[in-house]
């Protein structure tokens, strides 16, 4: 395993911008999935409305390319201006990973 990079993006949306956010979010997912080094992404929503997106890239170079992609940067600015009531981002290196899948 190479040194994978995981981003944890926690946020709460402003209710009046949910529809516009959905369009931008779908485009960002499409764009991220097309980036070299993209491994996977999942978003979860808690009962209290907090959303958590976990994105994994193969390495830091790939993660930085995604972070700095011009269209992603525009979406980040739009998120601050319109979509988010609050957010936090944590980026870290995976030091250990293991998976299990039952065959049946």
Q: Is residue 99 part of a domain?
A: no
| Mean pLDDT, range 29-42, rounded to an integer | 96
Please report, for the domain that includes residue 32, its CATH number: 3.30.70.100
Q: Is residue 25 part of a domain?
A: yes
pTM, full prediction: 0.89
d(CA 26, CA 70): 16
d(CA 18, CA 82): 10
50-103 pLDDT per residue, tens: 999 999 999 999 999 999 999 999 999 999 999 999 999 999 999 888 889 999
Q: 57 pairs with which residues across the strands? A: 5, 38
Q: How confident is the model at residue 22 (pLDDT cuts 50, 70, 90)?
A: very high
pLDDT score for 34: 97
What is the domain count for the chain? 1
Q: Is pLDDT at 1 greater than 60 in this prediction?
A: no
User: Which residues span the domain enclosing 31?
Assistant: 5-93
């Amino acid at each position: 395993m190479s040194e994978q990079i995981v981003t944890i993006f926690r946020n709460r949306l402003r209710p009046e911008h949910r529809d516009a956010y959905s369009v931008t979010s779908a485009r960002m997912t499409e764009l991220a999935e097309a980036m070299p080094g993209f491994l996977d992404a999942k978003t979860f929503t808690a009962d209290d409305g907090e959303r958590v997106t976990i994105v994994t890239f193969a390495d830091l170079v790939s993660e930085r390319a995604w972070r700095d992609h011009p269209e992603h940067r525009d979406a980040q600015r739009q998120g601050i201006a319109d979509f988010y009531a609050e957010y936090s981002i944590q980026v870290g290196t995976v030091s250990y990973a293991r998976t299990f899948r039952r065959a049946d």
